[in-house]
Amino acid sequence: MADEIRARVCTHIDEKLQALSSTFLEHTTFRVPSQLYEVNEKAYEPEIISIGPYHRGKSHLKMMEVHKVRFLRMLLRRTLIHQIFDGNMDEYIFRLDLIFSSVLHDVILFENQLPFFVLWELFGMMRENERNLYVQSLLLLFYGKIPGRVDVAYDNTSIRSVKHLLDLAHGNWLPSREVMEDYSRVPKDGNWSFIRSATELKEAGIRFKKSEGNSLFDIRFRNEVLEIPTIKILDTIESLYRNVIICEQFENKSPRYFTDFAKFIDCLINSGKDVKLLCHCRIIDNWLGDDEAVATMFNRLRDHVNLSPKEDFFYARICNDVNEHYNAPWNKRMGSLRHNYFNTPWAFISFLAAAFLLLLTLLQTTFTIFPRK
């Protein structure tokens, strides 16, 4: 009797576990974990339109509900998608820059997604042979928000790996092929540490330069110069960064390009002084105007976030090379000298004055000991 009860319980538990497992694997949209939500709730909230169940019914999003029904009617008449991608969208709501910008912002929020196969099937209803064209057009819409190469060729098989629109954008926001090849050739080693701030590195003789690459992730260190692409800081950038990072947190992949990038920049920026230095080098394009606000934003992006495993961290080699330069005895002494005596123009002037007085004292002593005959 006991064995029979035990067998029935085990069978029941197995059924429950199988149901949970299959249900989880079928999910493509999730909620933002509470610890991340509490850091900046606004970053994950839609501004104008809800997609999916998580934000439906909120009062500030009700205006678009009527328009969603109208667009559904147009879609059923096979006219909506043609108008959007043929560039003939006459709807006044899409001609308003403020509205269109908010829609673009909302459709790549992590909690505001639909499974991508739904969009894929809708594209097939319009023009079966031009689905890839629609996908490329979607990416081009976000090109200004998510810079990088657009290189897409999905078919009915590979499209199943795309979870939603944010996942599509993230999957095409990649380092350049050259940087990826360099990364693949580097031996994986977890014996390294994160770099110092930008002002500390400058004191050790490291210079900063704006790189000309097309990808945000193409950071290089060569000939004592740290090359970093320009980072444009707009008022919506924190929301974008946070949603891409949370997208990576739900993927079992390494490296996590964007999460690692955000951590690398966070290491460089400890205060507004670091932001000011990087702005001067044209690496940060600060549209917020407040250097301390930019520093705070990058410092908070790391909260409750998992990086790539240390041996897979995308910038491990750069960190190691920069630290080797920074920790060299001569560079450390020069850095200490610059920090203690040359950190302001007045300190430098005081040093010159002291050196000049020392020289005069030496001359006076020399002429006292060896007077002119």
Would you give the DSSP letter of residue 55?
S
Q: Each residue of 44-64: pLDDT tens digit?
A: 999 999 987 888 888 889 888
Residue 147 predicted with pLDDT over 60: no
Would you give the DSSP letter of residue 226?
E
- Which one has a higher pLDDT value, 224 or 9? 224
Mean of pLDDT values over 124-131 = 69
Residue 315 predicted with pLDDT over 90: yes
Angle of helix 316-327 relative to helix 329-341, nearest 10 degrees, comes to 70
Q: How far apart are CA 322 and CA 345, in angstroms?
A: 27
| pLDDT at residue 46, rounded to an integer | 94
Mean of pLDDT values over 99-116 = 88
Q: How far apart are CA 373 and CA 369, in angstroms?
A: 12
| pLDDT at residue 100, rounded to an integer | 80
Cβ neighbours of residue 11 closer than 8 Å, sequence gap 6 or more:
none
Cα maximum dimension of the chain: 124
Computed over every residue of the chain, the mean pLDDT equals 80
| CA distance readout (Å), 239 to 22, 39, 298 | 31, 12, 12
| pLDDT at residue 24, rounded to an integer | 43
Percentage, residues of the chain above pLDDT 90: 32
Q: Each residue of 271-306: pLDDT tens digit?
A: 999 999 999 999 999 999 899 999 999 999 988 998
CB 132 within 8 A of CB 123: no
Q: Each residue of 200-257: pLDDT tens digit?
A: 999 888 999 999 877 889 999 999 999 999 999 988 899 999 999 999 998 888 889 9
Lookup: tokens for 327:
């920790």
Which H or E run includes 228?
A: strand 225-228
